[in-house]
Amino acid sequence: MAATTDRSLLSAEMKEEEEELYEQLLLQAAKEMQGSLPPAQESKQIIPQPGFCVKAKTRSSEKIFINVCKSDQIPPPPDLSEEDLVILLESEDPSGYRIPMSLGEPHAEVDNSGNGCTAYDIVINPTFYNKIHSNKLFMEFFMTIGFEGLENKYNLEMSREWRMLKNRKFLGSVVEQNIRSKSKPIIQELKSSTTSTGSGKKPLVSEVESSCVEPEYTIVAEPADQHQHPSFLVAEISLPKVDSVQSLLLDLGEDRIVLWARPDLYHLDIYIPYNVIPEESVSQFNRNTRVLTVTMPVQPV
C-alpha cells in the first residue's frame, strides 16, 4: 500500500526548473478545471431522530455513550438477508458490505451519576434501523461497524463490550448534523488522442474477478516542503483495468478517499494526512495512462 510522498518520489529525475514549471502548471490546471465545473451544492443539515443509547468504554476504561439515531436523509445499505450476512461474515473480506451513516462530533455530557462523559451520535437510515432493532445478528454487525467508524474518525481505541440503556433514547440534546448533498465529485474524462484499431467489440466471455483489489496510488503534497502547510494534495491512482470513467464511483470526505471501480475491479478506502475541501476538489481520468488524478485543496490551518 502506497504512502504519502514528496514530489521527488513522483518524479525523481525532475530538474529544479522543471519542478517549478510542474507546480505552476498544476496550480493553473486546478484553477481552470474548477472554473469549468458547475457550482458544487452545499451541505445540508439534518435533524436526527433519537433511537437508542448505548453505554460503552474505551480501552483505557473511559466511559462513553453512543446515540444511535435515524434520518431518511441517510440512504439505506443494500438489502441483505440474515443468511447472506452469515456468509459475508465468514468470507475473507466482509468489508465489501458498507453501511451509510453519519458520525456526529463528540459532545460533553453528564451521566446519571453526575460524572462527565463523552457522547457520540451515529445516524442511519430508518429502514435499516428497524432491521437492526429486530435482529440481534444485524445489531452486533452494525455496532462493530459503528465502533470501527468512530475509532477511525476520532482516533479512539474502544472496547467491544457495550450495553443498551433501557429507559433512555438519547444522552444530551439532539443537534443538527451536516451531510454533503453532493458526495461524489465530477470525474472528467480525458479522451484518447489515438484512434483504436479493430472493431472495438468487447469479448462475449470475460473473466469475472473474484474480489476487488486495492489499486496502486501516490499522494503528493504541494508544495512539498515538510515545514510548510500544503495548499493541495494530488492523488494519482493507477487503474489499468478500467476502460471508462462511467465505471468509477468516487467519494471524497474531508480526510478520506473512497473509490470503487465496477464491476468488482478495484476498491480503495484510505485516510489522507490533511483535511481537504471535497466541494472544491476535481478529478480527471486519463484513458491513455489509465490513471485517475484527484486534486484536493487543503483546508487552511
Phi and psi torsions of 180, nearest 5°: -75, 130
Cell digits for 299?
483546508
Instruction: With CA atoms as reference, report the closest residue to 42 among 279, 245, 296, 234.
Output: 279
Which of the residues in the chain have pLDDT under 70? 1-43, 93-96, 180-211, 263
pTM of the model: 0.48
Cross-strand partners of 297: 232
Per-residue pLDDT at 176: 78
Per-residue pLDDT at 152: 86
Per-residue pLDDT at 208: 32
Per-residue pLDDT at 66: 93
Name the percent of the chain lying above pLDDT 90. 21
Rounded Cα gap, residues 122 and 241, in angstroms: 36
For 20, the 3-state DSSP assignment is helix
Q: What's 100-133 look like in SS3?
A: CCEECCCEEEECCCCCEEEEEEEEECHHHHHHHH
Q: What is the pLDDT of residues 71-121, one digit of tens each?
A: 988 888 888 888 888 888 887 766 667 788 888 888 888 888 888 888 999
Per-residue pLDDT at 263: 67
Per-residue pLDDT at 155: 86
Per-residue pLDDT at 128: 93
Per-residue pLDDT at 127: 93
Per-residue pLDDT at 18: 56
Per-residue pLDDT at 121: 93
Q: What is the pLDDT of residues 147-165, one digit of tens each?
A: 888 888 888 888 888 999 9
Rounded Cα gap, residues 101 and 84, in angstroms: 21
Cell digits for 200?
472495438
